[in-house]
Amino acid sequence: MTLAVKAAGVHKRLGSTHALAGVSLDLGDGITGLLGPNGAGKTTLMRVLATVLAPDSGSVRLLGHDPADREARPVIRRRLGYMPQEPGFHQRFTAFEFVDYVAILKEMTARRERHDEVRRVLDLVGLGDVAQQRIKALSGGMRRRVALAQALLGDPRLVILDEPTAGLDPEQRLRFRELISRLAQDRSVLISTHQTEDVAALCHHVVVLRDGETVFAGAPRELAEVARDRVWLADERSAGAELSWLTGDGRHRHVGNAPPAHAELVEPTLEDGYLLLVGRGSLAVAA
Amino acid sequence: MSSVSPAVAIAAHRPARERPRREVAALARIEGRRLLLHPVFLLGLALSMLFFRDEGNGATWEAFVDGFAYLPLACGTLVAANLGALRSRRDRTDELYESMPRPRSSRVAGQLLGLLWTLPIAGALMAAARIDNSFVVDNLGVLHAPSPGQLVQGPLMIITFGAIGILLARIAPSPIVGAVAVVALIAARLPGLIPAGSIGAWLVPIATDVFQYAPSTPCDPGTSSGCHRVATSAIAWHLSYFFGLTLLAAAAAMIPRRRPLGFAAVAALAVALAAATRLAAG
């Protein structure tokens, strides 16, 4: 079976910044979470995979095609859904008009069927009732759902969502998780996010980027395992911990190699593993 | 989730090089409708309608035949089309649109074709002018039957201005450029700035500066405006000018950003055509 994404040694410079420094990635069906701190190269990688940016070097194959090939690029794009990190909107358009406009650019020409498809995706993201409202009248969360709706047009085989849950309230995030988990049954979905709980709840596969390089690729539980035997709860703050914070129950959670005195070893989470990879102790762990 | 309509599924298997006529037609419908509803376009339309004031000296007839009555509407079209072409930049949707199968040129083609939606408006203006009666009868009761070329030039001027507005969005992507262009066009009409008969007069798309005038008979020598009519021999040149300008603006607007040589070629062709037109016109 053809992998949805197969990237090897991808480099991309943006000005003087080496945004991607040899990223390799293989994605099949299911949901992949892309984690990383600000400036790690997540959005640049998403833009490369969305065929918006061309890599400086390295190879990328999307849905079995090379996006550098001008003939193949539209073939890829017809089967690609993309939600940018900062999706712009035509404020004077209604939600329906905007998604309809995008549908035309996705080559859906038969008017009646196109409108049916627009209604379908708007219903899917829960915006059927406000489809005829102007986008400028919608809340930030609703606008992100409009952006998500357009990414779902035409039943794409590869869906790339750059921080789709930013600005969504908890209920909307849960609805989003439900929707995406249904979507991913027969396609490949790549989600870039800062929300480790979304990754833990949704993703079959996690990739962590740091400084333009892949520092982890595996299952979510494997990411949690990175922090195995390195997470403690204690009553006192420890100066030796890589990361330490006061939890809601009044105890300090320590992540790192140096346990404080009388600390209690606890089960690591995906977030602990991620913090160890990209946090202050990342160099030691990565080595 | 995978219940997709046949039309949508078919789209995924289209040949890559298929001509995008249907997409462009669908985009043109949207762009055309938005153009007609744009406040600046409506303002231009309102100003053009002011020419219907019957001053009893045949001025309405002249204004419609030489295209002057269409000038406010054409200027409104220029600004509205310019702002429409800047929409994706202004609203930051370019990144999303770059991930679409249809390239930018399809959107520009849709915007250009959307200009055709102004034709019914221009036609309605003309019909209203005819109903107003001053279209065909001057102040002395003489019937004037405008040639088809004269009837066409106003609507064509509107489309030309719209195409220029779209081109300006490409070469100078700022919302004030369209307005500046309109001010420049109006300034060019100031007496003495561009003398009648000079090559500059040909660049100003108003017929009065470039047409050879012939007195209508009978006329009242005491009034200059009522005594002149547009010579049909010049109208063909003027329409050619509009038509060529529209095609060149459209071609230049559609050339991809990464092909500056193509843009330079179109610009060179424009200069050559302008020079040739000037020479041919004597």
CB contact under 8 A, B22 and A72: no
Mean pLDDT across B63-89: 89
Residue B264 vs residue A161, higher pLDDT = A161
CB pairs under 8 A between A and B: 114
| DSSP tally for chain B: helices H, then strands E | 14, 2
3-state secondary structure B118-186: HHHHHHHHHHHHHHCCCCCECCCCCECCCCHHHHHHHHHHHHHHHHHHHHHHHHCCCHHHHHHHHHHHH
The beta-carbon neighbor of A51 closest among B20, B91, B99 is: B99
Within an 8 Å CB–CB cutoff, is residue A44 touching chain B?
no
Alpha-carbon dihedral angle through residues A146, A152, A153, A159, given to the nearest 10 degrees: 130
Within an 8 Å CB–CB cutoff, is residue A235 touching chain B?
no
For residue A170, the model assigns a pLDDT of 87
pLDDT at A82 over 60: yes
pLDDT confidence tier of residue A208, bands split at 50, 70 and 90: very high
pLDDT at B63 over 80: no
pLDDT confidence tier of residue B191, bands split at 50, 70 and 90: low
Instruction: Report the share of chain B in percent with pLDDT over 70.
Output: 59
Within an 8 Å CB–CB cutoff, is residue B15 touching chain A?
no
For residue A257, the model assigns a pLDDT of 76
Side chain identity at residue B170, one-letter code: R
For residue B210, the model assigns a pLDDT of 42
Model confidence pLDDT, tens digit, residues A40-74 = 999 999 999 999 999 999 999 999 999 999 899 99
The beta-carbon neighbor of A89 closest among B7, B27, B91 is: B91
Within an 8 Å CB–CB cutoff, is residue B100 touching chain A?
yes
User: Chain-wide mean pLDDT for chain B?
Assistant: 75
CA distances in angstroms from A256 to A83, A259, A268, B199, B255, listed in the order given: 36, 7, 11, 79, 57
pLDDT at A256 over 70: yes
A168: left (phi over 0), alpha (psi -120 to 50) or beta: beta
pLDDT confidence tier of residue A246, bands split at 50, 70 and 90: confident
pLDDT at B217 over 70: no
pLDDT at A106 over 90: yes
Model confidence pLDDT, tens digit, residues B198-211 = 656 656 666 554 44
Instruction: Please state which of the ranges A8-12, A244-248, B271-275 shows the lowest mean pLDDT.
Output: B271-275
For residue B215, the model assigns a pLDDT of 43
pLDDT at B265 over 70: yes
List CB contacts (< 8 A) between B101 and chain A.
74, 77-78, 105-107
pLDDT at B192 over 70: no
User: Chain-wide mean pLDDT for chain A?
Assistant: 89
The two three-digit tokens of residue B72, written as one number: 């406010």
List CB contacts (< 8 A) between A14 and chain B.
none
Mean pLDDT across B48-66: 67
Residue B211 vs residue A144, higher pLDDT = A144
Model confidence pLDDT, tens digit, residues B151-163 = 788 899 899 999 9
pLDDT at A160 over 60: yes
The two three-digit tokens of residue A233, written as one number: 């709860």
Nearest to B113 by CA among B162, B40, B75, B78: B162
C-alpha span between A281 and A226 (Å, rounded): 12
CA distances in angstroms from A180 to A125, A192, B109, listed in the order given: 10, 13, 35
Q: Which long-range contacts (CB under 8 A, 24 or more apart) does A63-71 make?
A: A63/A2, A63/A4, A63/A157, A63/A158, A64/A2, A64/A3, A71/B16, A71/B17
User: Which domains occur in chain A, in start order?
Assistant: 1-79+156-219 (3.40.50.300), 87-155 (no CATH), 224-282 (no CATH)
Mean pLDDT across A139-145: 89
Instruction: Report the share of chain A in percent with pLDDT over 90.
Output: 55
C-alpha span between B97 and B61 (Å, rounded): 46
ipTM score here? 0.86
Mean pLDDT across B108-115: 96
C-alpha span between A231 and A269 (Å, rounded): 9
Instruction: Please state which of the ranges A117-121, A123-127, B5-9 shows the lowest mean pLDDT.
Output: B5-9
Within an 8 Å CB–CB cutoff, is residue B39 touching chain A?
no
Within an 8 Å CB–CB cutoff, is residue A74 touching chain B?
yes
For residue A78, the model assigns a pLDDT of 94
pLDDT at B11 over 60: no
Model confidence pLDDT, tens digit, residues A266-275 = 888 898 899 8
pLDDT at B186 over 60: yes
Mean pLDDT across A102-128: 94
CB contact under 8 A, A74 and B5: no
